[in-house]
A and B are shown apart, each in its own frame.
Chain A
Amino acid sequence: AQSVTQLDSQVPVFEEAPVELRCNYSSSVSVYLFWYVQYPNQGLQLLLKYLSGSTLVESINGFEAEFNKSQTSFHLRKPSVHISDTAEYFCAVSGRDSNYQLIWGAGTKLIIKP
């Protein structure tokens, strides 16, 4: 069965500093990987996804994530964060094991300190 682990429930970081939000998954088959962002009191928005091809995927607001099959990871990174990045970030995996239903991590709250 597929599962997703986000080890950090909260990540505090100073504005303009780099950040990495960790995501590890377990699956016996090929997977699709996603990062969603949830701003306060809003629904979830797709930030970026890996379906196939290049293992490095990027979002329009400067985030990137790299699919690492050997380490079963899909960590989210940004070289310089802004106050507006304050949100909760969810990692998710889907694939044949889950009948393409999304399996969710517990979420990581990114806290930007001025």
Chain B
Amino acid sequence: SQTIHQWPATLVQPVGSPLSLECTVEGTSNPNLYWYRQAAGRGLQLLFYSVGIGQISSEVPQNLSASRPQDRQFILSSKKLLLSDSGFYLCAWRVPGQGYGYTFGSGTRLTVV
């Protein structure tokens, strides 16, 4: 069956520290992968998406970066966190070529202090 794993569930990090969030997908090949962020009181903001290994598209300029070292692995990183990076981060995937929507991970609550 197709599943998506996202970890950690919660994270508290000091300003200026690095960040690495990981997302892995099982049960499918060559998915499109997405990183979203929800800040308090705001909707879903698409940060990055990837259509294949090493292919990353950035939707907004920011303090974050993403990488896809393997087909079913998507990593969100930062070298130095800012207070404004706090939020709820969601990973999602979909099968390209099918209009069947996305499947989401359970999310990571990041608080930068």
Spell out A's residues near B (CB within 8 Å).
32, 34, 36, 41-46, 49, 51, 90, 92, 94-95, 100-102, 104-107
The digit string for B95-106, where 1 denotes a CB below 8 A from any CB of A, is: 011111111111
Instruction: Identify the closest chain B residue to A92 (Cβ).
Output: B101
How far, in angstroms, from A41 to B107 measured CA to CA in the complex?
A: 8
21 sample A-B contacts, Cβ–Cβ < 8 Å, listed by A number: A32-B100, A32-B101, A34-B101, A36-B104, A41-B88, A41-B109, A42-B107, A43-B90, A43-B106, A43-B107, A44-B90, A44-B92, A44-B104, A46-B101, A49-B100, A95-B99, A100-B94, A100-B97, A100-B99, A101-B49, A102-B101
Interface residues on B, range: 20 to 34
How far, in angstroms, from A90 to B36 measured CA to CA in the complex?
A: 14
Residue from the list B44, B99, B105 in contact with A104, Cβ < 8 A: B44
Spell out B's residues near A (CB within 8 Å).
6, 43-44, 49, 88, 90, 92, 94, 96-107, 109
Closest CB-CB distance, A89 to chain B, in whole Å? 12
CB-CB under 8 A for A43 and B105, given A100-B97, A100-B98, A100-B99:
yes
Report chain A residues within 8 Å CB of B99: 32, 51, 94-95, 100
B43 touches A104 (CB 8 A): yes
Report chain B residues within 8 Å CB of A104: 43-44
How far, in angstroms, from A106 to B6 measured CA to CA in the complex?
A: 23
B44 touches A107 (CB 8 A): yes
Closest CB-CB distance, A91 to chain B, in whole Å? 11
Report chain A residues within 8 Å CB of B43: 90, 104-107
Instruction: Identify the closest chain A residue to B107 (Cβ).
Output: A43
Report chain A residues within 8 Å CB of B97: 100
How far, in angstroms, from A101 to B90 measured CA to CA in the complex?
A: 16
Closest CB-CB distance, B52 to chain A, in whole Å? 14
